[in-house]
Amino acid sequence: MSVSSHEVRFSLPSLEVAAKVWGNPDGLPVIGLHGWLDNAATFDRIAPLLNDVHLVALDLPGHGLSGHMPAAGYSLWQQAATVLQVAENLGWKRFALLGHSMGAIISGVLAGSLPERIMGACLIDGLLPFTSEAEDAPKQMARFFAASLALESKRKPVYDSVDKAIQARAKGSNTDISNEAVKILVERGLMPDNGGWTWRTDPQLMLPSPMRFTSNHAVAFIEAITSPTCLVLANQGVMHKHPQVLDRIERFQNIELHQLDGGHHLHLEEPASEVATIFDSFFRKLT
């Protein structure tokens, strides 16, 4: 695939969605979905290494250069619906998915719900969402209400240089991530503000979810996937911090599993070429 990319915009009914595009329009149609608080640049290192793929990597709503959703607009299913709207805009009745973290979870929701439309999915260090059981729902909703009211009084931080924003992003990450990887993401995630720089990200993305899948819900989506699926897990990533989740993932018979050394953003760091090689081979089987 060409090293260079170009920008596109999708004018959807409720908002505009931005994307980076790589590859030949005649290649395998693939929609790329980044992780929480990241953006389409998350695929900058592996996209040029994928052959015969037409990759449209989205800035999901509330992220990067895309528009923001109305209040409480960032559930997994609402984000998944946005992906389908983009696919309709492209005229893609069938397509593959490339997802990292939250984007991998959204990919699982789509593949489990609409197997007739998803040709296959490549996932990076993500599969099952955070879950809670039905009896926890009132407390979860209460947390959402309290955080929503408190959000009105909060202001986004303003940094006097891009370097300080990079340092803050690296320090504030819940996962280990190199400064080089952060630089790739920050370039698309900042905007000028009062002589400095602040995040484009919608502050609502920091709110706790009002509702979560139960564990049975989450597993049901993954077990409903019938299209080929390839999952790369990072040995020092998110899943390995939750052994019970890792154990469950290893039991899914419908998923081709690879485990590589690296952190949660391993596709933006040293193992990127290994990740790309695995996915390139997988995508070739779909064509």
Question: Mean pLDDT across the stretch 208-219?
Answer: 94
Predicted confidence at residue 244, as pLDDT, reads: 75
Mapped onto helix, strand or coil, the DSSP state of residue 60 is coil
Of all residues in the chain, the percent with pLDDT exceeding 90 is: 81
Is residue 257's pLDDT more than 70? yes
- Dihedral sign computed on CA atoms, order 35, 217, 94, 12: negative
- The yes-or-no verdict on residue 1 having pLDDT over 70 is no
For the stretch 44-94, pLDDT in tens is 999 999 999 999 999 999 999 999 998 877 999 999 999 999 999 999 999
Tell me the pLDDT band of 2, cut-offs 50, 70 and 90. Answer: low
Please report the pLDDT score of residue 35 as a whole number.
Answer: 97
In this predicted structure, the answer to whether residue 246 has a pLDDT above a threshold of 90 is: no
Domains identified in the chain and CATH numbers: 6-136+212-286 (3.40.50.1820)
The average pLDDT across 213-242 equals: 91
Residue 278: its pLDDT value, please? 98
Band (pLDDT 50/70/90 cuts) for residue 21 is very high
pLDDT digits (tens, 9 = 90+) for 149-187: 999 888 899 999 999 999 999 887 777 788 899 999 999
Degrees, nearest 5: CA angle 40-45-48: 95
User: So which residues are the catalytic ones?
Assistant: 101
Rounded to two decimals, the pTM is: 0.95
- The residue among 71 and 15 whose pLDDT is bigger is 15
Confidence of residue 245 (pLDDT cuts 50, 70, 90): confident
State the pLDDT confidence band at 258, using cuts at 50, 70 and 90.
Answer: very high
What is the distance in angstroms between the CA of the first residue and the CA of the last residue of the chain?
A: 15
With cut-offs at 50, 70 and 90, classify the pLDDT of residue 135.
very high
Say what the pLDDT of residue 152 is.
Answer: 84
% of the chain beyond a pLDDT of 70: 99
- Residue 243: the pLDDT is 74
Amino acid at 101: S
Q: Do residues 104 and 30 lie in contact, with contact meaning Cβ atoms separated by under 8 Å?
A: no
pLDDT for residue 107 is more than 90:
yes
Q: What is the pLDDT of residue 60?
A: 98
Residues near 279 by beta carbon (within 8 Å), at least 6 away in sequence: 46, 50, 98, 122, 230, 232
Query: How far, in Å, CA of 254 to CA of 225, rounded?
Result: 7
What's the CA angle centered on 166, arms 48 and 18, to 5 degrees?
Answer: 50
